[in-house]
Amino acid sequence: MNTPKIWFSLYDFSFDYKGLEPSFIDDSFAWSIEFEVNWQLVLVELNQYLKNNQPEAYFNTSMVNAENSWKTISIKWWDIEFRKRQCFFPKTMEIVRKYPEIISLSFNQLEPNGKILPHCGDTNAIYRCHLGLEVPASLPITGFRVREETRSWSNGKWLIFMDAYNHEAFNLSDQKRIIMVVDILRPEFQSHKRKVISVVLTSLFLQKRAEQLKFLYKIPHGMIRFVAFPLRPLAYLGMKMVNLFKVY
């Protein structure tokens, strides 16, 4: 397969990536094998953390069927290091630090009867990866769709998929569903890491502002491109400064 062109939802207002990659990636990788071997240790660290801390509702409320139904704990977010949380996850971080292709890691909680509505991701430059930690049920009650294919999560097993494609998640059980989410920079885009991070951080910054100022969703697409251009280097510099001064 030829290397695809790098794609960002920030610049494609159809929000519909038309790639040739498979929806799900069934290959194993060194990092995926190591996490599968140690998934119960990861869960122990998470449960210990949750004794005194709570996950936060995801900022984009338009992506869920009910308020506070999707909650997250960010540990590493597009190369922003959340060191104050990382200290609670020594085994998890020991694995993460072995693999520089891991640019994000978080824990994701979907409440009973919660749905993450159909959407596409920010870029085709990553694989998004879900590791089941507490999965209350399988299909058709709880599952995950990418394009036309729907699969179940399983405890201790990965679902690796193309985040740029249209996808959704649902948990129609009466228990919460918890997974670990990892973003892996695809090997063919390693040389574009700075661009990937700067564009996605800019996109997420604009999404957060739009959540606060709803009229921003209505501004012309050309204006978004115009605004995004100077924000990109600032976003990347901001990430570096945040890490340097250990803000998080």
Tell me the average confidence (pLDDT) per consecutive run of 10 residues in the chain, 248 residues long. 85 87 97 98 98 94 93 98 98 98 98 97 98 98 98 98 97 98 97 97 89 73 84 96 96
Number of domain units in the chain: 2
- Residues 172 and 199 both lie in one domain: no
Q: How far is the first Cα of the chain from the last one, in angstroms, to the nearest whole number?
A: 40
Q: CA dihedral defined by 35, 40, 42, 44, rounded to 10 degrees? A: -170
- Residues 171 and 225 both lie in one domain: no
- Residues 163 and 64 both lie in one domain: yes
Nearest-CA neighbor of 202 among 7, 9, 62?
A: 9
- Residues 197 and 185 both lie in one domain: no
Predicted local confidence at residue 1, as pLDDT: 53
Predicted local confidence at residue 210, as pLDDT: 79
- Residues 107 and 138 both lie in one domain: yes
Task: For residue 6, tell me if it sits in a domain.
Answer: no
- Residues 173 and 202 both lie in one domain: no
Query: Looking only at Cα atoms, what is the longest distance across the chain?
Result: 48
Task: For residue 170, tell me if it sits in a domain.
Answer: yes
Predicted local confidence at residue 212, as pLDDT: 77
Type of residue at 116: I
Predicted local confidence at residue 222, as pLDDT: 77
Q: Give dist(CA 118, CA 39) in Å, integer.
A: 28
Q: Which residue has the tokens 């200290």?
A: 87
Predicted local confidence at residue 200, as pLDDT: 97
Q: Which domain holds residue 153?
A: 17-189
Predicted local confidence at residue 221, as pLDDT: 73
